[in-house]
Amino acid sequence: MSTALLKIAGGTVYDPANGIDGQVRDVWVADGKIVSPPTDPDIRPTRQLDARGLVVMPGGIDMHCHIAGPKVNIARKMRPEEKRGAAPIRRTRLTHSGTLGSVPSTFTTGYLYAGLGYTTAFDAAVPPLLARHAHEEFADTPCLDKGLYVLMGNNHYVMQSIQRREPDKLQAFVGWLLGASKGLAPKLVNPGGVEVWKHRPAGNVRGIDDQVDYFDVTPRQIIRAMAEAADALRLPHPVHIHCNNLGLPGNWTTTLETMKALDGHRGHVTHIQFHSYGGGAGDEDTFHSKVAELADYHATHDNLTIDVGQVLFGETTSMTGDGPLGYYLHKIYGGKWFSSDTEMESGCGITPIKYRNKSLVHALQWAIGLEWYLMVQDPWRVVMSTDHPNGGSFLAYPQIVRLLMDRSYRHEVLKTCHPQVLKRSRLADLDREYSLYEIAIITRAGPARILGLTHKGHLAPGADADITIYTPNENKETMFALPRVVIKSGTVIVEEGEIRATPLGKTLHVQPEYDVEIEADIRTWFEKYYTIRFRNYPVSDAYLHDSQTIPCGT
Amino acid sequence: MKIVEDATCTFCGCVCDDITLKVENQRIVEANKACVLGKAWFLNHQIEDRPSCLIDGKPAPLDEGYERAASILCEAKYPIIYGLSDSPCEAQRVAVSLADWIGANVDSTTSVCHGPSGMALQGVGEVTCTLGEVANRADLVMFWGSNPAESHPRHFTRYSLMPKGMFVPNGRKDRTCVVVDVRRTKSVKAADLFFQIPPRKDFEAIWCLRALAADVALDADQVERDTGIPLARWQDLMQRMKSARFGVIFFGMGLTMTRGKHCNTEALLALVRDMNAHTRFVVKPNRGHGNVTGADNVVTWRTGYPFGVNLARGYPRFNPGEYTTSDTLARGEADAALIVSADPMSNLAQAARAHLASIPYVALDPKETPTTRAAAVAFTVAAYGIQTGGTVYRLDDVPIALRPALDSPHPSDQTVLEGIERCVRQRKGIGEFA
């Protein structure tokens, strides 16, 4: 036969999308895809990997991280001090050199994800005007399939369409904008609040029903209308929401109201850890967990999915499309601060941050993240994330796995934290331990399903042959930090931490159908206010390299 | 005849993308909307009647040029790669790969213009925006050590002063313009207020404004002695800054390349940061070359550092002053160079030029220049934005795709760099040659 046939023989397979929970199976691969075992017993594999005693899972999927584009690159530029102290990433005969720190350089990002067994990742906040930049970085980020979410929550055309009660126009615009920026999903970041930030010093909305300056719309209206538009376009992934009031004591009511504002439409609430705080507004002394209340609502509303945004102790860089949040964090920590507002679209804030286990607020943030994983009973609707690098680096994923699978370890770490955490969160009472099957859900099968990627996150014939093989270990952090073999689209890319191949990977994006009549109206608006020409705005196919259009539903 | 609409001018950092080009007989005969510099850039462009490759001044096939270039770079102990600011990002990316494979320094012209601005950003951060925010919102527009009337001629009309924007519907009438400079430049004509400070006193003037922003009491005599301007005028300016709805300060090499350098810029970035306690305020370097901003971005995303990067140990290290080109050359350290679309033999200091002339180097440029004339291997390349496409970043980091109007008999700098890279990888056994 002409094509290479790979057999991963005798591994213990965790493939939750197909109900396989630790059964010994062979997995066959050809042409970059999982295939059925050959029916003819005379057909031999071209290569066989002996996986006996090893754990086989689909490749990991990071559905919310910041790895490419304008704010990521500014963070790299702004933090030389982190890199000088970090381990050097040397060039080899196969790989480019690079730098670490909380925001690794592009090639290094790809190699590190691959080294952890992750084969797909999505940058969660790209201004469409600057989408070309993110795509250029993708072209230098190997070993991963990747995509981006398009910032829309403070877009003038969006707010204007809502103000004028023109849902058809909004829907067409969202479709056009996703296609023009070659994105995968619409993203809201502090909807309406960033526009207020552009109008006033320390400006922001305080609640979901505040009016946005000039546009006379509220965050609630933006959330509701965008969720409806995303559903009407039948997008594979619905509206992806960074709620208002991130990080503020008492913000859990804003989060609850955001969930209600979806009004039954699908919606993904991201890095929900940062949005689950009780306490008096602006009063850190009353800061406590409100996960239980929010998790109750989440449990009874299956239109809702979440990722956690786990905080890990240590130094990192906060980077966000939430301009006023960047200012707020800068005022708290007093570090250097970058802010950039993008015309008609969005904002950006970047500042260094160090999470300390002896800080009550930080330790509570850590505990609240873990509460989310442990209190959500349906693992298909909660996804592992650190909101890299905001809560911590994606390199901390193996540590999170251990915290979830090993309650004695979790309780040991809890003992090192500020003592008040025991009173203000329920973490100490939570004895649940994740199984490997559940870990495979929250890191692979779940995010694939939530993103509408039917060819990812599982190992049935037809799926992408993105596969990670782990050596079992009592210490789950050790197990997940160093996969035995990582396979991307059928190619072995990592063995025992050594990079073996560096395929670029594909850009995953949507191309929704929309009413093209709208373009004349967009153009008129665009050329009145933007400083580049309408024709020069859309990202052309030339930037996609190898790519795949993810179909919208029918 | 051919018309190219929405073409992009890469002459300066404004990267205006609204130019209409009329092409006749492989010449651009009209460049509508272009400024005086842009018109000169487009209309004076001729297809170079020169060989695409010269080795030691003699015409040679491209493949021989690639081989010779690779041998010069691979045999060097301390090769440097410099320029990059007039190449599209696609070519810059190859240049950084080359630097990686041979363990070179990679450095752009940023190190001799806004390098100090990059260092200042590393110190205090930066509060900034895209130019459309200025066009739509700014009611106080300041220029510090920057003379866009001559360096960025469409800056005022297209981005900063004249546009009728969403929140400044009357355009210029809704804005106050302030110029701070050591001399009465042409830009002063556009200003409502002009602050002429003595040379080398930028830091003192900015520090005075920072003090006023924080309501620190100042000694009037000392302020006037240090800044050449009465305290009352600075107080009046600070009052305007605080009461503006949205203020912006554009700055240039008058700040970054005069005494104080990155300290000046750090002071300015800190002032603008502080102003955000009172109102919305942003700051923006007026970058010069068409894609110097792209060079900063590409070098950063690949190495983590914006310029002055050394790869000799097999991984990136950053040290302005040590790994920046003018310094490496002036100290006589580099023993081979690859110059990409820049003209250091015209622009760098004498000591640096003298050393460059003494070492073998490779140069790429659309035109013949003093740098290409003294090169061991010189490639004539197609001009970006006119003859080849690609991506450039405007001075506010907005990436724009080029629409070339003409063909070229010469390869693009991307093609040449890829040719050299292929030979280097073969020699070093990298990638598919491993």
Which element (helix H / strand E) includes B310? Answer: strand B309-310
In angstroms, the CA B287 to CA B13 distance is 5
Of B137, B313, B401, the CB nearest to A540: B401
Residues A281-286: contacts with CB within 8 Å, 24+ apart? A281/A206, A281/A248, A281/A249, A281/A250, A282/A248, A282/A249, A282/A250, A283/A249, A283/A250, A284/A249, A284/A360, A284/A361, A286/A249
Angstroms from B358 CA to nearest CA on chain A: 30
Question: Taking residues B203-217, what's their average pLDDT?
Answer: 98
In angstroms, the CA A69 to CA A133 distance is 5
Greatest CA span in chain B, whole angstroms?
70
The strand pairing partners of A266, in sequence order, are none
Q: Give residue-wise pLDDT tens across range A453-482.
A: 999 999 999 999 999 999 999 999 999 999
Task: Verify whether the Cβ–Cβ distance A535 to B93 is below 8 Å.
Answer: no
Using the structure block, give the residue that is written with the tokens 């596969």: A467
Q: Give residue-wise pLDDT tens across range B60-72.
A: 999 999 999 999 9
Is any Cβ of chain A less than 8 angstroms from the Cβ of B13?
no
Measured between beta carbons, the chain A residues lying within 8 angstroms of B87 are none
- A 518-547: CB under 8 A from B: 529-533, 535-536, 540, 542
The predicted structure's pLDDT at residue A429: 96
Measured between beta carbons, the chain B residues lying within 8 angstroms of A93 are 428-431, 434
Which element (helix H / strand E) includes A160? Answer: helix A156-163
Q: Give residue-wise pLDDT tens across range A391-414.
A: 999 999 999 999 999 999 999 999
Q: At A25, phi and psi to the nearest 5?
A: -145, 160
What number of H helices and E strands is found in chain A? 19, 24
Angstroms from B6 CA to nearest CA on chain A: 7
Look at residues B306, B359, B299 and name the one whose alpha carbon lies nearest to residue B73: B359
In angstroms, the CA A540 to CA A531 distance is 19
| Sign of the dihedral through C-alpha A156, A159, A165, A167 | positive
| A514, A525 Cβ separation under 8 angstroms | no
| Torsion of the alpha carbons at A68, A70, A71 and A74, rounded to the nearest 10 | 100
A110: CB partners within 8 A, 6+ apart: A141, A142, A143, A144, A502, A505
In the three-class reduction of DSSP (H, G, I as helix; E, B as strand; rest coil), residue B61 is classed as: coil
- Going edge to edge, which strands form the sheet with B27-32? B2-7, B19-24, B27-32
In the three-class reduction of DSSP (H, G, I as helix; E, B as strand; rest coil), residue A243 is classed as: coil
Structure tokens at A488: 């991307």
The predicted structure's pLDDT at residue A554: 64
Mean pLDDT for all residues in chain B: 97
Task: Verify whether the Cβ–Cβ distance A136 to B302 is below 8 Å.
Answer: no
- B 43-72: CB under 8 A from A: none
- A 208-237: CB under 8 A from B: 214
In the three-class reduction of DSSP (H, G, I as helix; E, B as strand; rest coil), residue B338 is classed as: strand
Cis peptide bond prior to B306, omega within 30° of 0: no
The strand pairing partners of A21, in sequence order, are A14
In the three-class reduction of DSSP (H, G, I as helix; E, B as strand; rest coil), residue A515 is classed as: coil
Look at residues A432, A383, A442, A370 and name the one whose alpha carbon lies nearest to residue A405: A432
| Sign of the dihedral through C-alpha B73, B74, B79, B82 | positive
Structure tokens at A364: 């509570």
In angstroms, the CA A71 to CA B402 distance is 23
Question: With pLDDT > 70 as the criterion, what percentage of chain B qualifies?
Answer: 100
* Whole-prediction pTM: 0.98
Is any Cβ of chain A less than 8 angstroms from the Cβ of B313?
yes
Question: With pLDDT > 90 as the criterion, what percentage of chain B qualifies?
Answer: 97
Measured between beta carbons, the chain A residues lying within 8 angstroms of B135 are 343, 529, 531
Chains A, B: CB contacts within 8 A come to 198
pLDDT at position B44 over 50: yes
pLDDT at position B409 over 80: yes
Look at residues B124, B115, B396 and name the one whose alpha carbon lies nearest to residue B261: B115
Structure tokens at A248: 């503020």
Q: Give residue-wise pLDDT tens across range A406-452.
A: 999 999 999 999 999 999 999 999 999 999 999 999 999 999 999 99
The Cβ-side half-sphere exposure at A365, using a 13 Å CA radius, reads: 28
Task: Kindly list the distances between the CA atom of residue B18 and the CA atoms of A468, A537, B155, in Å, as whole numbers in the listed order.
Answer: 49, 12, 13
Of B132, B391, B401, the CB nearest to A343: B132
In angstroms, the CA A436 to CA A401 distance is 9
The predicted structure's pLDDT at residue A1: 41
Question: Taking residues A240-256, what's their average pLDDT?
Answer: 97
In angstroms, the CA B128 to CA B275 distance is 12
Angstroms from A349 CA to nearest CA on chain B: 9
Nearest CA in chain A to B121: A78
Task: Verify whether the Cβ–Cβ distance A88 to B315 is below 8 Å.
Answer: yes
Is any Cβ of chain A less than 8 angstroms from the Cβ of B421?
no
| A102, A387 Cβ separation under 8 angstroms | no
Task: Verify whether the Cβ–Cβ distance B17 to A532 is below 8 Å.
Answer: yes
Letter for the amino acid at A503? P
Measured between beta carbons, the chain A residues lying within 8 angstroms of B6 are 533, 535-536
| A188, A162 Cβ separation under 8 angstroms | no
Of A101, A129, A201, the CB nearest to B304: A101
Which of A536, A539, A543, A544 has the highest number of chain B CBs within 10 A, making it the mutation to test binding with B? Answer: A536
| A270, A191 Cβ separation under 8 angstroms | no
Question: Taking residues B374-398, what's their average pLDDT?
Answer: 97
pLDDT at position A256 over 90: yes
DSSP string computed for B405-428: -S--SSPPHHHHHHHHHHHHHHHH
Of A76, A93, A327, the CB nearest to B434: A93
Nearest CA in chain A to B311: A97
Per-residue b/e over A347-358, b at no fewer than 16 CB within 10 Å? bbbbbbbebebe
Measured between beta carbons, the chain A residues lying within 8 angstroms of B428 are 93
| A295, A376 Cβ separation under 8 angstroms | yes
In angstroms, the CA A472 to CA A161 distance is 54
Of A90, A140, A339, the CB nearest to B302: A140
In angstroms, the CA B200 to CA B183 distance is 12
Look at residues A232, A223, A211 and name the one whose alpha carbon lies nearest to residue A256: A223
Phi-psi group of B145: left, alpha or beta (phi > 0 → left; psi -120 to 50 → alpha; rest → beta):
left
Provide the 8-state DSSP code for A344. T
Nearest CA in chain B to A503: B431
pLDDT at position B47 over 80: no
Provide the 8-state DSSP code for A543. G
Which element (helix H / strand E) includes B74? Answer: helix B62-75
Question: Taking residues B220-226, what's their average pLDDT?
Answer: 97
In angstroms, the CA A173 to CA A171 distance is 5
Provide the 8-state DSSP code for B162. S
Measured between beta carbons, the chain A residues lying within 8 angstroms of B393 are 133
Mean pLDDT for all residues in chain A: 97
Measured between beta carbons, the chain B residues lying within 8 angstroms of A133 are 297, 393, 397, 399
Of A77, A81, A532, the CB nearest to B306: A77
Using the structure block, give the residue that is written with the tokens 């050809």: A30
Task: Verify whether the Cβ–Cβ distance B130 to A531 is below 8 Å.
Answer: yes
Task: Verify whether the Cβ–Cβ distance B277 to A343 is below 8 Å.
Answer: no
Of A68, A202, A339, the CB nearest to B128: A339
How distant is the alpha carbon of residue A68 from its chain centre?
A: 12
Q: Give residue-wise pLDDT tens across range B236-293.
A: 999 999 999 999 999 999 999 999 999 999 999 999 999 999 999 999 999 999 999 9
Q: What is the ipTM of this complex?
A: 0.97
A318: CB partners within 8 A, 6+ apart: A326, A329, A349, A350, A351, A352, A353, A389, A390
Q: Give residue-wise pLDDT tens across range A512-546.
A: 999 999 999 999 999 999 999 999 999 999 999 89
Angstroms from A268 CA to nearest CA on chain B: 29
- A 60-119: CB under 8 A from B: 68, 70, 72-74, 76-81, 83-84, 88-91, 93-94, 96-99, 101, 103-107
B217: CB partners within 8 A, 6+ apart: none
Angstroms from A141 CA to nearest CA on chain B: 9
Question: With pLDDT > 90 as the criterion, what percentage of chain A qualifies?
Answer: 97
Is any Cβ of chain A less than 8 angstroms from the Cβ of B312?
no
The predicted structure's pLDDT at residue B46: 82
The predicted structure's pLDDT at residue A23: 98
Angstroms from A32 CA to nearest CA on chain B: 20
Is any Cβ of chain B less than 8 angstroms from the Cβ of A205?
no
Task: Verify whether the Cβ–Cβ distance A529 to B136 is below 8 Å.
Answer: yes
Task: Verify whether the Cβ–Cβ distance A140 to B313 is below 8 Å.
Answer: no
Measured between beta carbons, the chain A residues lying within 8 angstroms of B137 are 198
Letter for the amino acid at A127? P
pLDDT band for position B222 (50/70/90)? very high
Pairing of strands B377-380, B361-365: parallel
DSSP string computed for A106-138: HHHHHHHHHHTTEEEEEEEEE-GGGHHHHHHHH
Of A73, A139, A529, the CB nearest to B297: A73
- B 380-399: CB under 8 A from A: 391, 393-394, 397-399
In angstroms, the CA A164 to CA B200 distance is 54
The strand pairing partners of B399, in sequence order, are B393
Measured between beta carbons, the chain B residues lying within 8 angstroms of A90 are 313-315
Residue A525 CB neighbour total at 10 angstroms = 16
pLDDT band for position A282 (50/70/90)? low
Is any Cβ of chain B less than 8 angstroms from the Cβ of A406?
no
Of A140, A336, A337, the CB nearest to B93: A140
Q: Give residue-wise pLDDT tens across range A42-82.
A: 999 999 999 999 999 999 999 999 999 999 999 999 999 99
Of A96, A198, A214, the CB nearest to B302: A96
